[in-house]
Amino acid sequence: MSLSRLLWNIFICVTAAFYPLIQRTAFAASAAISGSVIALYQGADREKILIEGAKREGQFTLYTSHTWFRTFVKDFERKYPFIKVSEWRNDSKNIIRKVLEEAKSGRVLVDVVESTADGVGILKREGLLHEYYSPQARYYPDELKPKGQSGFFYLPDRETYNSLGFDTKLISPAIAPRNLKELLDSKWKAKMAITSTTTGVRWIGNVLDAMGREYLEKMSEQEVSVQDMAPAALMGLVSSGEVPLSPTSSMPT
């Protein structure tokens, strides 16, 4: 296991909260023993060992599904200027597909994957996550850090809130929908769009739990368009007026 990526996990644990940051298990056989040992090592000199090893490695590859994560990359490189982060950003489903394809081919390029809970669940199920330890994990609730035999598989690093987004040039705040029931008003027919990404899937699942199938069937009569793009890109369509409103606007924290 790369020492650079373990150092990254220390950094993220200190600076962020709530959503999965994960690691792959596919690493060179020559590094498997020492990597596995240091991943779970809890000695007082752990960070010193990680920094010395990371200086020798000099870089790691990060796959992430959010543009705002670039801020953390810059801060990380500022704190550890001897490590270069090679970052690739895409939607969660494309990231998970790429990781699975790399694992299947036996040529894994990624070191750290930052993605959604459902995506992380797939990688854990496929046995692609390596257990590791971080002293900062004590600040996280047990239910948010799936445990293995000696460590845990991932820690959360973000929390995402979904809300209604609308173009104020087209829709006055005074008449904008204020709850899910008001989305069924006929005046919003053919004026809504949701994302087809995991954000959209989670929104549908939450609405199903909260409002029931009958509500979703009525929503389908509203001619809601499904856009194959990230929520941030969809909000670009909303701000431009191409899509008047979207109930799958999201804001990660």
| 114-170 residue pLDDT tens | 888 888 888 989 988 888 888 888 888 888 888 888 888 888 887 777 788 999 999
d(CA 226, CA 228): 7
Model confidence band, residue 1 (pLDDT cutoffs 50, 70, 90): low
Question: Which has the closest alpha carbon to 112: 136, 85, 147?
Answer: 85
- Token pair recorded at residue 29: 């056989």
Terminal alpha carbon distance of the chain = 29
Model confidence band, residue 184 (pLDDT cutoffs 50, 70, 90): very high
The pTM of this model reads 0.70
| 63 and 113 Cβ atoms separated by less than 8 Å | yes
| 159 and 253 Cβ atoms separated by less than 8 Å | yes
Model confidence band, residue 249 (pLDDT cutoffs 50, 70, 90): confident
Output the average pLDDT for the chain.
Answer: 81
Q: Does domain 3-155 have CATH number 3.40.190?
A: yes
pLDDT above 70 coverage of the chain, percent: 84
Q: Does the pLDDT value for residue 8 go beyond 60?
A: no
Q: Which of 12-26, 63-77, 107-121, 222-236 has the lowest mean pLDDT?
A: 12-26
Phi/psi zone of residue 220: left (φ > 0), alpha (ψ -120 to 50 degrees), beta? Answer: alpha
Q: Does the pLDDT value for residue 18 go beyond 50?
A: no
Q: 11 or 21, which is more confident?
A: 11
Q: What is the pLDDT of residue 251?
A: 57
Give the residue range(s) of CATH 3.40.190.10 domains in the chain. Answer: 160-252
Q: Does the pLDDT value for residue 174 go beyond 80?
A: yes
Model confidence band, residue 28 (pLDDT cutoffs 50, 70, 90): very low
Model confidence band, residue 21 (pLDDT cutoffs 50, 70, 90): very low
| 158 and 116 Cβ atoms separated by less than 8 Å | no
Give 230's Cβ-side CA count (13 Å radius): 18
Highest mean pLDDT among 16-25, 185-194, 241-250: 185-194
| 234 and 248 Cβ atoms separated by less than 8 Å | yes
Q: What is the pLDDT of residue 13?
A: 45
Q: Looking at this protein, which amino acid is placed at residue 235?
A: M
CATH architecture of 160-252: 3-Layer(aba) Sandwich (3.40)
Helix (H, G, I), strand (E, B) or coil at 38: helix
Q: What is the pLDDT of residue 210?
A: 92
- Token pair recorded at residue 186: 């006929």
- Token pair recorded at residue 20: 């999965």
Q: 18 or 95, which is more confident?
A: 95
Model confidence band, residue 217 (pLDDT cutoffs 50, 70, 90): very high
d(CA 65, CA 225): 23
